[in-house]
Chain A
Amino acid sequence: MDGPVKKKKMVISQETMDVDFVRKVEMLSDTSVRRCFQCGKCSAGCPMATFMEHPPNRVVRLLQLGQWQRILAGRSIWYCASCETCSTRCPNKVHLASIMDALRKLSWDAEGASKESYVQLANKLFLQNIRSYGRQYEMRLAAVFNVKSGQFLKDLMLGPKLFAKGKLKMFHSKNKNMAEIEKIFGRIEEMRKNGEAL
Chain B
Amino acid sequence: MTSDKALTYAYFPGCSLHASAGEYDLSTRELFKALEIGLTEVPDWFCCGATPAHNVDELLSLSLCAKNLELAEAVEGDLAVACASCFSRLKFTQHTLGENATKRQQVEKAIDAPVKLEGNVKHLLEILARDLGLERLAASVQKPLSGLKVACYYGCLLTRPTDVPNLDCVEAPTIMEQVIESVGAETVAWTHRLECCGANFTLSRPGVVIQLTNAILDAAKAAGADCIMVGCPLCHGNLDIRQKEIEGVFGANYNLPVFYLTQLVGLAVGLDSARLGLEAMIVNPLPLLKSKGFL
Contacts and interface: CB of A to CB of B under 8 A. Distances in A.
Q: Which of B44, B50, B52, B171 has the most CB of A within 10 A?
A: B52
B55 interface: yes
A35 to B, nearest CB: 15
Interface stretch (A1-9, A15-23, A63-71, A122-130): A122-130
Interface string A118-149: 11111100110110001111110110010000
B46 A175 contact: yes
Interface residues of A, number: 66
Contact of B56 (A47, A123, A167, A169): A123
B54 A165 contact: no
Interface string B226-252: 000000000000000110010000000
Contact of B110 (A30, A123, A184): A184
A188 B44 contact: no
Contacts of A193: none
Interface residues of B, number: 60
A122 B156 contact: no
A82 B200 contact: yes
Interface stretch (B15-23, B256-264, B287-295): B15-23
Given A119-B205, A145-B203, A154-B206, A88 B282 contact: no
B109 to A, nearest CB: 6
B51 interface: yes
A145 B201 CA distance: 12
B196 A183 contact: no
A82 B208 CA distance: 14
Contacts of A135: 15, 18, 46-47
Interface in A66-125: 79, 81-85, 87-88, 95, 97-98, 100-102, 104-105, 108, 118-123
B59 interface: yes
A127 B109 contact: no
Interface in B260-295: 279-282
B56 A84 contact: no
Given A104-B55, A119-B201, A135-B46, A85 B20 contact: no
Nearest to A130: B47
B90 to A, nearest CB: 15
B160 A85 contact: yes
Contacts of B55: 82, 100-101, 104, 123
A62 interface: no
Contacts of A121: 204
Contacts of B100: 30
A191 B109 contact: yes
B49 interface: yes
15 contacts: A51-B208, A81-B199, A81-B200, A84-B160, A88-B160, A97-B161, A101-B56, A126-B53, A135-B15, A135-B18, A145-B203, A165-B280, A166-B280, A169-B18, A180-B67
